[in-house]
């Protein structure tokens, strides 16, 4: 296969951006047409992504000289930025996942975006008749634009383009979280979609500013932002790690360490790591396909992808004595455990998944911190499959329970005066027994949940998580290993808590009793993703694992290890070791068993409180309130910012406004005086005088103008006579 | 004995003066027009006299007179048509009352 085939890479994001413009400019009034355009475009992008990814997979020799196609783009001073696409093993793996997950979620969205319950059908009669969201077309335009951003980010060959697509995704995330901006809740403490979008945008902005500073420093030193130019150049990275810069508080640090740290903050924001994790759970206010797409599978993993891309820089910095990798490992491992504990006590089905996403991203970041970037990428890919599946499953459950609620409401339906009680279709304590009502959703959700909790041997999640734990064990990072192992136990526990609360036992509300299975557009993508949630793991089976290792192929890991050579990253595959694998199996199984013991053995009755509350006591409240981080940030940042704003407002009004008004009053006084003395006194008089003179002449001369031709003739005669008389004198 | 040129000139001057006086003094527009005709004919007399006494070999004076006749005829035709249309709209041809130029 010739390299020119990879020119196709340029075209991968193109259908999505065209779909975006086609929908907003032309197809907007026609809802079904809009979704068909978007789905057609995403299928085209999917096919191209897989064509590129697979042709890379079957040509492993390309890892020695990865594809990089550039065109001159932006001349800045003496430097010309090149726009370009690059394909290496990591990009190929990402393209494989992103193309597929995007397509599944687009199809799912077409079924999911029905007329939402919080809107008044009388206000949107057309949309209510069609049974679709009034802003259905807009939704598809936004997710098409988002898909442009994600695909563009994956294929970008330089940090500038990556940053632009990164921000494009941030924008789409904001727009989509606040998609139901007119929704509000009876409880004023519950965050509205509008506020959640703002929160997500502002929180990630903190990371993005630091990320951009890192980019600027890197550009100053490297003179370029192309990945292969920077990271293929080992000598330059060594030099960067050796050069020192003095920072207050931190003392002397290496430039490489500083840049890596700044860029890592971009990842902390985007991948919702502690301490910038607060936005992701609230981002669940967006429609569920958005949560699946942006806040589980693709955008949040962009932060991890960024560190994977920057790995050579991190490695060089660590080699030069910087502790930045330790920081990364600490943040990742801490986040993994920390958010897993929060997930224990959440009631909202989507919030549990949101915290588990943060926790799993923490796994990946921790893996990067200990240098196991191959394991991180593999976990990223597999996590995207099963987490998208879980989110879409939860969306299907919410959709079903919501329909069930409406159905039950109609059955009782004499109370048409609209004072119905607020019903939370996302509260797991309002569900129960849904496996019988929604078998496809239920079983695929259980598969996804098993994969998330790393059910041994048969799920993909087990293999990818085991890779990370094995690397931690092998590298002697015991603190990381035990933190992640504890997180693995909690993950298994809260996942099975969720499964048992949602799908097992008797329905706890009328709504759950009447919940129907959803349309095929929603269930088929679940089945397709469930396939990958199980068999996707075979790319991560260590080849020296007994029996399974022989049949499965860890070709992707091998490919990426070869790719590592190009970037001078030496990652030895962790030898399979029964001890860490045994520990992780044991912990996963005991977590699941604990979940069954507490929620599965005796399923909860309606109105029964969470048994975990008895076990944890006051700690439960702390977990339920997310360690009060929102309150803490509110106290530490938001309140001072508001105080500062109100002080600035007062200052503005009392001091600046006064000064401005005084200056303005002086100006007005000056203008008035000038008018009185100069304008009215001199200029106006001069003008009026010339006018009066003209008028006077006119009134005299007008007497001559009688309008009688005979008078004119007479005057002519007199003139001639006078002239004749003058002749003798004039000579 | 021949009549000297000055007699003709005196006659023409008298005729012109009568015509001019008519033009200035009459209130009737038709009379004013007649005065104009008199002045034109006075000029014609002058032209013919000068031709006959000063340049009898040159035809220019005679031809000029023919031109003046033609123009005078046209002027009379247009002038009288104007008078008729003014009379129709205003029921008067007293030029003291026709002062529309003074507006």
Q: What is the mean pLDDT of chain A?
A: 86
Q: Do B23 and A713 count as a contact with CB atoms less than 8 A apart?
A: yes
Contacts of B99 in chain A (CB under 8 A): 706-708
- For residue A708, give how far its alpha carbon lies from the nearest alpha carbon of chain B (Å): 6
What does the alpha-carbon distance between residue A400 and residue A513 come to, in Å, rounded to a whole number? 10
The two tokens of residue A214 are 């890192």
pLDDT tens profile A522-549: 888 889 888 888 887 777 676 666 666 6
Helix (H/G/I), strand (E/B), else coil: A372:
coil
- For residue A698, give how far its alpha carbon lies from the nearest alpha carbon of chain B (Å): 14
Of A706, A713, A717, the CB nearest to B102: A706
Interface confidence: ipTM more than 0.90: no
Q: Tell me what the mean pLDDT of segment A686-706 comes to.
A: 89
DSSP A702: G
pLDDT of residue A365: 93
| pLDDT above 60 for A142 | yes
Chain B's closest residue to A706, CA to CA, is B102
Q: Do A710 and B24 count as a contact with CB atoms less than 8 A apart?
A: yes
Confidence tier at A72 by pLDDT (50, 70, 90): confident
B86: Cβ–Cβ under 8 A, 6 or more apart, which residues?
B29, B92, B93, B98
DSSP B94: B
| pLDDT above 50 for A66 | yes
- For residue A704, give how far its alpha carbon lies from the nearest alpha carbon of chain B (Å): 10
Measuring CA to CA, which residue among A145, A1, A16, A213 is closest to residue A87? A1
Chain B's closest residue to A703, CA to CA, is B102
Residue with the bigger pLDDT between A567 and A664: it is A664
The two tokens of residue A711 are 């008078």
Q: Do A707 and B99 count as a contact with CB atoms less than 8 A apart?
A: yes
pLDDT of residue A727: 86
pLDDT of residue A626: 84
pLDDT tens profile A376-419: 998 999 899 899 999 999 988 888 888 888 887 776 544 444 44
pLDDT tens profile A28-50: 888 889 999 999 999 999 999 99
pLDDT of residue A671: 92
- For residue B32, give how far its alpha carbon lies from the nearest alpha carbon of chain A (Å): 9
Q: Is the peptide bond before A81 cis (omega within 30 degrees of 0)?
A: no
Q: Is A720 on the interface with B (CB under 8 A)?
A: no
pLDDT of residue A663: 95
| pLDDT above 80 for A457 | no
Q: Is A710 on the interface with B (CB under 8 A)?
A: yes
Interface with chain B: mutation pick from A709, A714, A715, highest number of B CBs within 10 Å: A709
Q: Do B95 and A708 count as a contact with CB atoms less than 8 A apart?
A: yes
pLDDT of residue A354: 92
Q: Is A709 on the interface with B (CB under 8 A)?
A: yes
Please report where in the chains the tokens 């205003």 appear, as a residue.
Answer: B90
E-strand spans in A480-522?
Answer: none
| pLDDT above 90 for A645 | yes
pLDDT of residue A58: 84
Q: List, as own/partner pairs, every contact residues B47-51 make where C-beta atoms lie below 8 angstroms and the sequence separation is at least 24, other chains included.
A: B49/B5, B49/B8, B49/B9, B49/B12, B50/B5
Q: What pTM did the predictor assign?
A: 0.77
Q: Do A714 and B24 count as a contact with CB atoms less than 8 A apart?
A: yes
Confidence tier at A551 by pLDDT (50, 70, 90): low
In chain A, what percentage of residues exceed pLDDT 70?
95
What does the alpha-carbon distance between residue A557 and residue A64 come to, in Å, rounded to a whole number? 15
Q: Do A707 and B100 count as a contact with CB atoms less than 8 A apart?
A: yes
Q: Do B24 and A713 count as a contact with CB atoms less than 8 A apart?
A: yes
Q: Tell me what the mean pLDDT of segment A604-608 comes to.
A: 78
Q: Do A710 and B100 count as a contact with CB atoms less than 8 A apart?
A: no
pLDDT of residue A550: 59
- Interface size between A and B, measured as CB pairs under 8 A: 23
| pLDDT above 70 for A421 | no
Q: Do B96 and A709 count as a contact with CB atoms less than 8 A apart?
A: no
Q: Is A2 on the interface with B (CB under 8 A)?
A: no
In chain A, what percentage of residues exceed pLDDT 90?
31
pLDDT of residue A175: 92
Q: Do B24 and A708 count as a contact with CB atoms less than 8 A apart?
A: no
Measuring CA to CA, which residue among A499, A503, A515, A507 is closest to residue A400? A515
Chain B residues within 8 Å of chain A (Cβ atoms):
20, 23-24, 32, 95-96, 99-103
Interface with chain B: mutation pick from A698, A707, A711, highest number of B CBs within 10 Å: A707
pLDDT of residue A416: 45
| pLDDT above 60 for A420 | no
pLDDT tens profile A212-266: 999 999 998 888 888 888 888 888 888 888 888 888 777 778 888 889 999 999 9
Q: Tell me what the mean pLDDT of segment A301-324 comes to.
A: 87
pLDDT of residue A419: 47
Of B20, B95, B103, the CB nearest to A709: B95
**Helix, strand, coil % in chain A, rounded to nearest 5:** 75, 5, 20
Chain A's closest residue to B97, CA to CA, is A708
Q: Tell me what the mean pLDDT of segment A274-283 comes to.
A: 89
In chain B, what percentage of residues exceed pLDDT 90?
56
Q: Do A707 and B102 count as a contact with CB atoms less than 8 A apart?
A: yes
| pLDDT above 80 for A553 | no
Please report where in the chains the tokens 């590298």 appear, as a residue.
Answer: A475
């Amino acid at each position: 296969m010739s390299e020119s085939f990879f020119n196709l890479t340029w075209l991968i994001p193109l259908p999505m951006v065209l779909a975006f413009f086609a929908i907003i400019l032309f197809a907007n009034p026609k809802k079904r047409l809009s979704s068909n355009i978007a789905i057609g475009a995403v299928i085209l992008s999917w096919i191209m992504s897989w064509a590129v990814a697979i042709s890379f997979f079957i040509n492993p020799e390309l890892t020695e000289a990865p594809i990089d196609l550039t065109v001159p783009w932006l001349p800045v001073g003496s430097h010309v930025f090149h726009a370009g696409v690059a394909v290496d093993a990591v990009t190929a793996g990402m393209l494989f996942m992103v193309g597929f997950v995007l397509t599944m979620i687009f199809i799912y969205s077409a079924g999911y975006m029905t007329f939402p319950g919080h809107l008044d059908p009388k206000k949107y009669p057309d949309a209510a008749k069609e049974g679709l969201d009034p802003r259905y077309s807009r939704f598809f335009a936004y997710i098409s634009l988002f898909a442009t951003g994600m695909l563009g980010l994956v294929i970008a060959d330089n940090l500038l383009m990556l940053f632009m697509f990164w921000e494009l995704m941030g924008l789409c995330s904001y727009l989509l979280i606040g998609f139901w901006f007119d929704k509000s809740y009876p409880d004023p403490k519950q965050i509205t979609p509008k506020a959640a979008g703002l929160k997500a945008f502002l929180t990630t902005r903190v990371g993005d500013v630091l990320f951009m500073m890192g980019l600027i420093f890197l550009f100053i030193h490297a003179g370029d932002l192309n990945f292969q130019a920077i990271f293929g150049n080992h000598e330059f990275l060594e030099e960067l790690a050796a050069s020192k810069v003095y920072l207050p508080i931190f003392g002397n640090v290496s430039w490489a360490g500083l840049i890596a740290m700044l860029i890592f903050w971009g990842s902390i924001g985007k991948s919702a790591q502690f301490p910038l994790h607060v936005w992701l759970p609230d981002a669940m206010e967006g429609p569920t396909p958005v949560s699946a797409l942006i806040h589980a599978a693709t955008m949040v993993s962009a932060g991890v992808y960024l560190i994977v891309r920057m790995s050579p820089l991190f490695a060089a910095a660590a080699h030069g004595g910087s502790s930045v990798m330790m920081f990364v490992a600490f943040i990742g491992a801490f986040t993994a455990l920390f958010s897993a504990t929060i997930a224990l006590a959440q009631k909202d089905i989507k919030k549990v998944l949101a915290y588990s996403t943060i926790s799993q991203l923490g796994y990946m970041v921790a893996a990067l911190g200990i240098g196991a970037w191959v394991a991180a990428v593999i976990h990223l890919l597999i996590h995207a499959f099963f987490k998208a599946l879980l989110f879409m499953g939860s969306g299907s459950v919410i959709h079903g329970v919501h329909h069930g609620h409406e159905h039950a409401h109609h059955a009782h339906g004499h109370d048409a005066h609209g004072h119905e009680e607020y019903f939370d279709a996302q509260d797991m304590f309002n569900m129960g027994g849904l496996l019988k009502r929604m078998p496809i959703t239920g079983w695929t959700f259980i598969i996804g949940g098993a994969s998330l909790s790393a059910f041994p041997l048969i799920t993909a999640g087990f293999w990818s998580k085991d890779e990370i734990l094995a690397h931690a064990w092998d590298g002697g990072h015991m603190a990381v290993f035990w933190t992640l192992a504890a997180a693995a136990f909690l993950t298994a526990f809260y996942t099975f808590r969720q499964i048992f609360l949602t799908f097992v036992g008797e329905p706890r509300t009328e709504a759950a009793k009447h919940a129907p299975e959803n349309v095929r557009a929603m269930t088929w993508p679940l089945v397709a993703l469930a396939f990958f949630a199980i068999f996707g793991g075979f790319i991560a089976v260590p080849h020296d694992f007994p029996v399974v290792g022989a049949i499965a192929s860890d070709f992707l890991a091998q490919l990426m290890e070869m790719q590592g050579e190009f970037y001078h990253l030496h990652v030895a595959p962790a030898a399979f070791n029964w001890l860490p694998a045994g520990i992780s199996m044991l912990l996963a199984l005991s977590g699941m068993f604990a979940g069954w013991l507490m929620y599965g053995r005796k399923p909860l009755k309606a109105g029964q409180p969470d048994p975990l509350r008895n076990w944890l006591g006051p700690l439960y409240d702390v977990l339920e309130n997310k360690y009060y981080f929102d309150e803490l940030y509110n106290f530490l940042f938001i309140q001072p910012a508001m105080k500062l704003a109100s002080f600035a407002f007062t200052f503005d009004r009392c001091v600046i406004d006064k000064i401005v008004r005084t200056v303005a009053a002086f100006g007005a006084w000056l203008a008035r005086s000038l008018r009185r003395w100069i304008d009215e006194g001199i200029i106006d008089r001069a003008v009026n005088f010339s006018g009066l003179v003209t008028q006077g002449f006119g009134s005299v001369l007008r007497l001559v103008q009688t309008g009688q031709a005979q008078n004119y003739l007479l005057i002519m005669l007199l003139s001639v006579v006078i002239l004749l008389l003058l002749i003798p004198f004039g000579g | 004995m021949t009549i000297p040129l000055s007699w003709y000139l005196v006659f023409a001057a008298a005729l012109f003066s009568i015509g001019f006086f008519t033009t200035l003094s009459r209130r009737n527009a038709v009379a004013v027009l007649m005065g104009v005709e008199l002045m034109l004919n006075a000029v014609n007399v002058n032209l013919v006299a000068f031709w006959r006494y000063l340049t009898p070999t040159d035809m220019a004076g005679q031809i000029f007179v023919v031109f003046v006749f033609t123009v005078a005829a046209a002027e009379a035709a247009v002038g009288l048509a104007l008078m008729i249309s003014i009379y129709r709209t205003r029921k008067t041809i007293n030029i003291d009352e026709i002062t529309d130029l003074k507006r």
